[in-house]
Structure formats: C-alpha cells, structure tokens
Amino acid sequence: MNSTMKKSEIQAEMKSNILAKLNLEALGGIQIDSSMWALPAGELDGKTVYAKVAVTATNVIGTEKVPAFDIDEAVDKFDAKKAESAEKAAERQRKHDEKVQADKERRAKRAAEKAEREAAKAE
C-alpha cells in the first residue's frame, strides 16, 4: 500500500491482506458475500450451524465529517461499554438479591403470624 492509492483501493487491499492472514477457508469458511463468510460453529439436531463473519476496513484517511480510525479511542470505548454492562448487571443482581431477601422476610413473618394464630387456637 502507498499513500498515492485511492481510499477505496487502500481499504480493498487491507481486506484482502487480512483475509489472506485469516485463511477462513482452512476453518471451513464459505464466502457468502463480499468480505462476508459463514463459518461452521457447531451442530444442532444433527445439522451444522454457522456464524457469519464480516471483514471491514478501518477508515485510514480522516475527513472533516469522519475522523480516521483511532485504535486507542476504539479500545477506550469498548472498555467503557464493558464497564457499563458490568454495572448494569451488578445493579440487576442487587435488585434481585433485595427481592429475594424481602420474599424471605415476608415468608418468615407469615410463618410467625401463622404460628401465633395456631398457638392462640390451641389455648
């Protein structure tokens, strides 16, 4: 690749290079579209199931509207997304635990009330 190439030519070569490195055919991949492959992902009821893998090239030449791809920014965004997902999962678990605890307390209270009623009847 060189800087005199058009953006589309650079991206096409990038895709070609990475597809050669990935060697998806060796993994049983079947090309189903331009830069899209179906890879065997296991079996379900005796039939092979597939995962689709698409290869895209990053934007290497920034413009006013679209900046060039920044790997550090992409990693930071992904880390933030994972952290947000973990926080949401922790919040769901906390709410679940509170509900379970409230249910236990409610059952214990009902059992105590029932025991009191039965004791009162026995007298």
Are residues 21 and 55 located together in one domain of the fold?
A: yes
Which of 30, 54, 69 is the endpoint of a domain? 69
Tell me the pTM.
0.59
The domain containing residue 12 runs over which residues? 1-69
Q: Is 6 helix (H, G, I), strand (E, B) or coil?
A: coil
Reported as a single tens digit per residue, the pLDDT across 78-104 is 999 999 999 999 999 999 999 999 999
Dump pLDDT digits (tens) for 27-80.
999 999 988 999 999 999 999 999 999 999 998 888 889 899 999 999 999 999
Residues shown for the chain: 123
Q: Describe the strand order of the beta sheet including 30-33 as a list of residue ranges.
A: 30-33, 36-44, 47-54
In this structure, the answer to whether residues 64 and 119 fall within a common structural domain is no
CB 28 within 8 A of CB 50: no
Between CA 24 and CA 89 the distance in angstroms is 35
DSSP 8-state symbol, 26: G
Is the pLDDT confidence value at 1 over 80?
A: no
pLDDT tens profile 5-15: 888 889 889 99
User: Domain check: are 65 and 75 in the same one?
Assistant: no
One-letter identity of residue 118: E
What is the total count of domains within the chain?
2
